[in-house]
Amino acid sequence: MDKATILVVDDTPENIDILVGILGEDYKVKVAIDGPRALALVAKTLPDLILLDVMMPGMNGYEVCKLLKQEPLTCHIPVIFVTALSEVADETQGFELGAVDYITKPVSAPVVKAREPRREN
């Protein structure tokens, strides 16, 4: 069976490295360092899951999620916000935009792995 594809979107290389380290063995991991690059990657190959930072320069994660959820081709892709924002209002906004989950930074491997995509056989 093919490995599921996870798109990690974060403007901080260290955060990308941590998530790739946690997921890279079991999944195809693609990375984008900003919203526009993430949207371009998604347009080429639909990932099974998107781990999306909220605070990024230019286009923030909330904007990326909103655009993904407005498109018929991408609205079904689960989005999990991975962010340092931990206020209830921030989390609520993420869910209102269509995110399926919310992980606060710094991430821990067990928490990330508990939220991995489940594929039907």
Cis bond upstream, residue 117 (ω within 30) = no
Asked if residue 90 lies in contact with residue 54, where contact means CB atoms within 8 angstroms, the answer is yes
How many domains would you assign to the chain?
1
Whether pLDDT at 120 is above 80:
no
89 falls within a domain: yes
Structural element, H or E, at residue 28: strand 28-32
pLDDT digit string, tens, across residues 77-104: 999 999 888 888 989 999 999 999 998 8
pLDDT digit string, tens, across residues 16-66: 999 999 999 999 999 999 999 999 999 999 999 999 999 999 999 999 999
pLDDT for the residue 117: 65
68 falls within a domain: yes
120 falls within a domain: no
Q: What is the pTM of this model?
A: 0.91
**How far from 57 is each of 11, 33, 53, CA to CA, in Å?**
8, 10, 11
35 falls within a domain: yes
Whether pLDDT at 9 is above 80:
yes
d(CA 34, CA 86): 21
Q: 17, exposed or middle or buried, with CB in 10 Å at 0-12, 13-18, 19+?
A: middle
Structural domain for 47, as ranges: 5-114
pLDDT for the residue 70: 97
CATH of the domain at 103: 3.40.50.2300
119 falls within a domain: no
